[in-house]
Amino acid sequence: MNQVAQPDNLPGTVGEGLVQHGVNRREFLQFCVSLTVMLALPPSMAAVMAEAISKTRRQSVIWLSFQQCTGCTESTARSHTPTLENLIFNLISLDYQHTLQAAAGEAAEQALAQSMKDNAGKYLLIVDGSIPMGNPGFSTIAGISNHDMLVDVAKDAAAIVAVGTCASFGGISNAKPNPTGAVAVHDIIKDKPIIHIPGCPPIPVVITGVLAHFLTFGSIPELDSLGRPRSFYGETVHDRCYRRQFYDQKKFALSFDDDMAKQGWCLFKLGCKGPVTHSSCATTKWNDGTSFPVQSGHGCIGCAEPNFWDATPLYKVPLKSFLYQLILGDQDTPQKTVPTGLGVGYTAVTWHKRMNKNKVAANAPDKKLTAQKGNTL
Amino acid sequence: MNQPENRRVIVDPVTRIEGHLRIEAETDAEGRIIRASSAGTMVRGIEIILRDRDPREAWAFTQRICGVCTLVHGIASVRAVENALNIEVPSNAQLIRNLMIGAEYIHDHVMHFYHLHALDWVDVVSALKADPKATSALAQSLSGYAKSSPGYFSDVQKKLKGFVEAGQMGIFANGYWGHPAYKLPPEANLMAVAHYLDALAWQRDVVKLHTVFGGKNPHPMLLVGGVPCAISIDPNRPGDKKAPHFNGISSGTALNEVGLQTVQNAIKQMSEFVDQVYLPDTLAIAGFYKDWFKQGEGVGNFLTYGEFPAKGMSYPSTFMIPSGVILDRDLSKIHPIDLNAENEIQEFISHAWYEYSVGKEQGLHPYKGETKLDYTGPKPPYKQLDLDKDYSWMKSPRWKGKAVEVGPLARVLMMYASGHEQAKELVNMTLKTLDLPVQALYSTMGRTAARTLETKIVADAMQGWYDQLIANIKAGDVKTFNESKWEPSTWPSNAQGVGVTEAPRGGLAHWIVIDNQKISNYQAVVPSTWNAGPRDAEGNQGPYEAALKGHQLHDVKQPIEILRTIHSFDPCISCAVHLTDPEDKELLQVKVL
């Protein structure tokens, strides 16, 4: 760690800012260590990270909100590491974000134009919400359709982060019968790297963790075939669930407050979608590790997966579905352990029907893995 | 009425709100607003999406109407289904819902004040000129909040200085800093900026209450018939080997000894912050803006559905906040509401981008509600809306034909009028402290102050609900879910019901029609639709539009006056825009590019 730069050596940089903000070197390094742990990087990366962050000006970030509920912004505000205030005061310059920014109307649009001009080719674009293609009048900002604004701002972005299931996969607006013709960011933008952070909303520290990765390395993290960072979406909720032992022992809760539910038995028969949902809810948990839906007695609803609103009703065990047949064979009740990763293959196969292969595949250095899982199917 | 373009002040996007709102204000030559129009500019169609689905899962869809007042659309939805199917929820579930709704109020109101509304009153740049010692003296004169030393404020100022001097202003870029409408001295500005940051840290901790009961926040889990989280504590059978065995804190559910302690801590943190920071700050800031107690009233009519039942939704007389309507500021008479009466609550679309089979002039009760998307506005990109025709994705709800205001001011007035002791005390204390007459409540700042006062009332009630929950568990009652009507086979073939709640932004109701175990019609009439909706068939304005009338803009290029009044309502526009259409057979073909 000796070669780590003092975070105070360059004027106008994040390092200088941290010193001004009363953050000493030790605290700064601790922050970098916690980031590396969260991102599952080797400890040696903390030093690299510290050096990278301390030398840069705050990364310009433009955040566009389309057909959305502000849940993704709220979730970002809930992050404990890094915190929202740490992000926006020390690490990024959040130049356009409707919920938080002081300026409104024309002044807000000027701030957007200025940032796009000053940081052309370098700013990070965050999008939450889907984009309605049915009629440009279905959603406008300052009189401009969401489609036109997205295309305009994406043009000079370094990369795009689609936060939430709506921006990543279409989300709730895209659920049947999709009254407004809602689509995801990748349906419109084909020539930029796009990171998907699905979830309705995504886990707070997952949103900020992915941003931290971009800030640290200036590149996007390793993505899976659906454009999701592997570090947070590599396993299913079921894979890491603390109730997994009960599933393996075929111990199931049959109602929401029966004795089995009180003892924390598996919620599979109450409709839990944990086996087919790729998300780190069971490991990072929510709101400073307090709990996650399964721990609070409700099955996972699968909110980080494409098309989850239409896939299977919330309280139904999809025993007859293709996927569960694969996992369970012809049994009515689960008999054996679910092989990890089958869900990936399944969702990938379905999703490829909708996805333009080039776009995400360009970001996904894992074609081999996908193909391999495809073979398993 | 074609106003020349330079007489129309347009604010779009209205920022520091939830959703997409556009205000077009027509002014006279002196910059006084003659007519303001409020437009919701985004539509998703969630009620169409709900059709033909299982009523038990509607809460998850409706919750996604809004992620700021997360929870409340889920609560209204499970209550609508419970009302339709005649399901009573167990006492523990009732208490847990009260705690969750209460936490939502406190969390949402504090964040609204500091992160959405404060920058209308607080000049961030002016805080750089403050003397930290004088700031400390000011803070200590207001409350016993621990973070009030000169060193603390000096640190905050240093942070801010670095931020401003680096030339990357981020979220503070292009604010109307230095505008003469900002009246706070530098020290009060610095104190408010410090509390802006404190409130950010506070809010992510207190939501843990939702996380224990609902697994996550935003968008915690809910359940028709109760709450999803079983209680993994049984204090009465510690030595009973046949009793359910809970494997310590690592097993069972989140609702164990540790979870309860997390809830208790959150309640304490909430109440301390409200008492020591939010309430004193509101009074201090309001004292500098007394002229804002004289404008921004709205329509003078107020409606509440009521909230916080002591027994259950079937016992409205036990609600902490009563239900009713106040007309023309007359606090001596509370009119009752009949949610099922066809001629009481109706939605109009006379100036909204929808079609009714009965024509554009007639209102429809939510059970018979219908909507067909019919965008007739200008083709984007556009500069102005045609304000004499249709101009919004929001409908215009009316009670017996009248526009009414919903929200904190309506609730505080309702409690005040119905003799709620603490509400009366708090209102009188506020008026006395600020030396204002009771009429001052009907204003922009009156609305903002009412929000703070009701937060105090709710924060004080939380401990009582928690203590009752503990008492129940102690007495051996750990029931959280009524499963008698869980299976759809137990339902009648047709049913309809309405679920109400008081969301942070005001009265919220969902109407559901269930046919053959599926949703056949779903209608949400939400707070911001009541407040932000466009003019009705008679040309009557809703509260936003009426409140802006007469505002004198100091500088039409920096319309801070519009932001102050609009933000005092705490807009939530994703909520406000919704639709349903049982008749529409020509839904759009989705073209995935």
pLDDT tens string A44-54: 677 766 666 66
Last residue of a domain, one of A40, A57, A74: A57
Strands B345-348 and B324-326: unpaired
Mean pLDDT of the region A172-192: 97
Distance from CA of B202 to the nearest CA of A (A): 10
In angstroms, rounded to a whole number, what is the distance separating the alpha carbons of residues B513 and B367? 7
Residue that terminates a domain, selected from A221, A255, A271: A221
A27, A115: one domain: no
Question: Would you state the pLDDT for residue B233?
Answer: 86
Identify whether residues A186 and A91 lie together within a single domain.
Answer: yes
CB contact under 8 Å between B44 and A173, yes or no, is yes
The answer to whether residue A130 sits within a structural domain is yes
Chain A residues touching B228 at Cβ < 8 A? 256, 296-298
**B432 neighbors B573 (Cβ within 8 angstroms):** no
d(CA A218, CA A275): 33
Asked if A104 lies within 8 A of B16 by C-beta distance, the reply is: yes
Q: Is the pLDDT score of A3 beyond 70?
A: no
Q: For residue A318, is it within any domain?
A: yes
Question: pLDDT, tens digit, for every residue of A298-323?
Answer: 999 999 999 999 998 999 986 666 66
The verdict on residue A53 lying in a domain is yes
Residue A314 Cα, gap to closest chain B Cα (Å): 6
Q: Are residues A50 and A72 in the same domain?
A: no
Residue A201 preceded by cis peptide, ω within 30: yes
What DSSP character marks residue B117? I
pLDDT tens across the length of chain B (593 residues): 444 445 899 999 999 999 999 999 999 999 999 999 999 999 998 988 999 999 999 999 999 999 998 999 999 999 999 999 999 999 999 999 999 999 999 999 999 999 999 999 999 999 999 999 999 999 999 999 999 999 999 999 998 998 888 888 999 999 999 999 999 999 999 999 999 999 999 999 999 999 999 999 999 999 999 999 999 987 766 555 555 555 544 569 999 989 999 999 999 999 999 999 999 999 999 999 999 999 999 999 999 999 999 988 999 999 999 999 999 999 999 999 999 999 999 999 999 999 999 999 999 999 998 778 899 999 999 999 999 999 999 999 999 999 999 999 999 999 999 999 999 999 999 999 999 999 999 999 999 999 999 999 999 999 999 999 999 999 999 999 999 999 999 999 999 999 999 999 999 999 999 999 999 999 999 999 999 999 999 999 999 999 999 999 999 999 999 999 999 999 998 777 754 433 433 333 322 32
Q: Name the DSSP class of B114.
A: I
pLDDT number for residue B351: 97
For position A54, what pLDDT does the model report?
60
Residue A265 predicted with pLDDT over 90: yes
Task: Give the CATH number, domain containing residue A319.
Answer: 4.10.480.10
Looking at residue B162, what is its pLDDT?
84
Cα separation, B303 vs A103, whole angstroms:
32
* DSSP state at residue B477: -
- Is B117 within 8 Å of B505 (Cβ atoms)? no
* Confidence at residue A264, expressed as pLDDT on a 0 to 100 scale: 92
Task: Please return the burial class of B247, using the count of CB atoms within 10 Å of its CB with bins 0-12, 13-18 and 19+.
Answer: exposed
Measured between beta carbons, the chain A residues lying within 8 angstroms of B230 are 253, 256-258, 261-262, 297
Q: Report pLDDT digits (tens) over A203-242.
A: 999 999 999 899 888 889 999 999 999 999 999 999 999 9
Cβ-contact B154, B135 below 8 angstroms:
no
Range of the domain at A371: 232-377
Q: Is residue A226 part of a domain?
A: no
* A residues 289..348 contacting B (CB < 8 A): 290-298, 301, 309, 313-315
Residue that terminates a domain, selected from A57, A76, A98: A57
pLDDT at position B576 is 72
The count of other CB atoms within 10 Å of the CB of residue A93 is 24
Structural domain contains residue A22:
yes
User: Would the CB atoms of A58 and B244 count as touching at under 8 Å?
Assistant: no
Q: Are residues A353 and A296 in the same domain?
A: yes
Paired tokens of A282: 């069971």
Are A195 and A210 contacting, i.e. CB atoms less than 8 angstroms apart? Answer: yes
Q: How many domains does chain A have?
A: 3
- Write out residues 36-95 of A within 8 Å (CB-CB) of B: 57-58, 60, 65-75, 77-80, 83-85, 88-89, 92-95
Q: Which among A77, A103, A136 has the least Cβ separation from residue B200?
A: A77
CATH of the domain at A92: 3.40.50.700
Q: Tell whether A314 and A255 lie within a shared domain.
A: yes
- Asked if A179 lies within 8 A of B45 by C-beta distance, the reply is yes
> Which amino acid type is present at position A38?
M
- The reply to whether A102 and A159 lie within a common domain is yes
- Please tell me the predicted confidence (pLDDT) of residue B164: 85
The answer to whether residues A132 and A155 belong to one domain is yes
Domain architecture of chain B: domains with CATH: 1-48+297-308+322-442+484-593 (1.10.645.10), 88-238+250-294+451-467 (1.10.645.10)
Helices (H) and strands (E) in chain A, counts: 18, 9
Is the domain of A16 the same as that of A53?
A: yes
A212 and A272 share one domain: no
Buried b (16+ CB within 10 A) or exposed e, A350-375: bbbeebeeebbbebbebeebbeebee
Residues A212 and A294 in one domain: no
Whether A88 and A20 map to the same domain: the answer is: no
- Residue A227: inside a domain: no
Query: Do A39 and A64 sit in the same domain of this protein?
Result: no
SS3 category, A87: helix
